[in-house]
A = this chain, B = another copy of it.
Amino acid sequence: MRLSELSEKSGVKTATIKYYLREGLLHPGRRITATQADYDERHVRRLRLVRALIQVGRLPVATAREVLSHIDDDSLGRTIRLGAALWSLPHGPDPDEEAPETATARAEVERLLDRIGWATSQEIGSLSPTYRALVSSVATLIRLGYPCDIDYLAEQAGLMHQVAVQDLDMMETHPTESEQVEMAVASAVLYEPLLMSLRRMAQEEESARRYGL
């Protein structure tokens, strides 16, 4: 398959494909001659994943490249590999260490994690981008004066844990490690908007139930 065919099949312009090739998001095709390369189905699939990451997940190109490199890298163990891929994903801005509410937020998060008994978080979590993102989110809430009730967060965390159990169950249905890692990335990037859509619909549903239209 040549570049123009790849473009047709994927619905992505050749110029854009060239750009992705240049940026290393897409593996170069098998070189046939000095001026021609051969692409296959894997390129089509990869291209779609790239588009999903960039357009649906809104990842910057550089971040997408990093995530993809972890999907490709089979030299690591599953958990590390999964973590590496997930940790490359955007988590919002890092907490501003100088802001006074960051300290408050950190304390709140500690209390929360302590309450719900998540062990991982306290051991390796303070280095994890996820943890930092959580602190950052809480700090933002505090800074803007929005309530950040620990009981509410604990309830939500419990529900999110149930969600995560479902997620991992689904991941386990995939045979290979590569697929599981890719699934985890997809779960983070593609299922997040889906879940949030469900949340908003549930809010509308519940609002109608309580207050009518």
A41-82 to B contact mask, C-beta < 8 Å, 1/0 = 000010011001001101000000000000000000011101
Chain A residues touching B, range = 35 or more
Q: Is the CB of A144 within 8 A of B49?
A: yes
| A1-9, A18-26, A31-39, A154-162 - the one binding chain B | A154-162
User: A162 to nearest B CB, angstroms?
Assistant: 6
Q: Is the CB of A201 within 8 A of B130?
A: yes
User: A169 to nearest B CB, angstroms?
Assistant: 8
Q: A118-B201, A137-B197, A162-B159 are in contact. Are A48 and B143 (CB under 8 A)?
A: yes
Which of B48, B79, B121 lies in contact with A212, CB distance below 8 A?
A: B79
Q: Is the CB of A120 within 8 A of B166?
A: no
- Chain B contacts for A165, CB-based, 8 A: 206
User: A168 to nearest B CB, angstroms?
Assistant: 5
**Complex Cα spacing A206 to B195, Å:** 19
**CB-based closest 7 A-B pairs:** A164-B202, A137-B194, A160-B198, A134-B197, A161-B202, A164-B203, A130-B200
